Structure 1
Amino acid sequence: MKNHADFYVGFGEEAEWLGSVAYHGTPLELSIPLYPERRTVDFFSPGGVADYRTQVTHVLNGMSTAEECLIASPSDGWPWLRENSGRWWAYTCDETGRVFASARGGPWFVPLPCASIDGGASVAEGPPAALPVVRRAPALETDAETMVFLDIAELRDRRASDAPDSSPVPFPAMRYRVGRWMARYVEEVVGKQAPLEDLGYAGLGIFLRMLHPRDPSGHHRLPGHADTAYQEAVHSVQLLRHADAAARRGDREGAFDFCYRACATALVALAGRRSGARG
């Protein structure tokens, strides 16, 4: 199970999305007071809705500062390719401030972080959580996460083929697979984690800002240690974002082309990093 997390106030379609974090969203991780921002308020025992909102902000800011985690807020936009939180953790609170969790679309339950690793998700009972659709996205095929292709060249050759002996590859499946590959390549080159297979257009933009943040004048600058391999890795993420933009426009051929180029560029970056290390 993926450990991303989305935070809400309320339930169902009317729930308000407050923000998200990649990788570090289990009840146990949220309960450990690792960051100064968490010293005064217990995330799972807020004094009301206002305190819960404050604690969500503290958790996200603390993670971003202390671990350089990828976080998103409503001002950034919904970071995921998927339209809801059904593949990872979701947290919300009711009108009294009582906190509830849902794991992978399962029932809402009151998490007990110290009781078990999953906070009680494995024994939670009830109907599946009604999760809000924050941003409508093209549906991912149910087998998108398990489709395996031989290599990136096969994806290129089959991307939009109409030949009788070569069925077209669904773009969401290709996009997921390429994101999985690229996440490993890019992390080795730039030293930062990002679930590229899950991040949508806005999420990729957040990651790019982590890779080349703004300087005091407001311009995006590559860090001083950025070599050619680092620049190629940044470019590969930019190309993946172009792929998502093309898919949103309905340009299937352009989406496949950018997706292929993104992965090929990430491979160039990885080769450059490894050859430099050997040198």
Structure 2
Amino acid sequence: MLDYDLFDASDGRSLAYSTVNSPKSSKKLPGIVFLGGFRSDMTGTKALFLENWAKRAGRAFLRFDYSGHGASSGAFEDGCIGDWIRDARDIIDALTEGPQILVGSSMGGWIALALCRDWPEKVAGLVGIAAAPDFTEDSMWAGFDDRQREQLMRGGRVEIPSDYDDGPYVITRRLIEDGRAHLLLRDPLPLRCPVRLLHGTADADVEMSVPLRLLQHADCADMQLTLVKNADHRFSAPGPLAEILRAIGDIDAAGES
């Protein structure tokens, strides 16, 4: 028996998801949506930790796989940032009620920020965990040598070694070029809700300069950055997980004030 459901999105996409539908509390606290990272899925430690917490706390919760990820339809290599933003917006619009707190990890932080900017009435708050806006340009493209760039532009793809899997993963020309249509750190970035950024000092994938740049760049009246000593990019040890809950509680408190 499947431990997830399937949502039929536009263009024939089928997105795997799991929800916690709790009775509305008297405080009417917003639901929580977890947005995973690049090539990750909804069965990771953070997603399951938040789901279990939501069950205990009586909070509505949604986790899902982007197209080409996890149990959702499509091939990973066919996807791009714009597709995954659309996935997130479609499933959040269909399966949640009222404003939500978006918890975005790595690439999920980029997607959450884009939704926060473009859909302010739906976003009650944002928790960015090692948020990686613009990583296709500032990390991938900027990190390619001339040979890799030529291979990408001529052949449409390049293989990159992975620190998380046995084999390499593929970066496509479409991923890079589409990413340029969704860059957030080059233009004004109004964020009209509380934002809490969390970043580990041992993160080897997203440099500490990224959240600092985001903090300086965004137009947000209530934005804080917390550095967690010795936390890595996964941010899945007990201490970092507790920081995620603290950030959610902080946003809850800001919404009640």
State TM-score, norm by structure 1. Answer: 0.27
Query: Which is higher, the Rg of structure 1 or of structure 2?
Result: 1
* More strand by percentage: 2
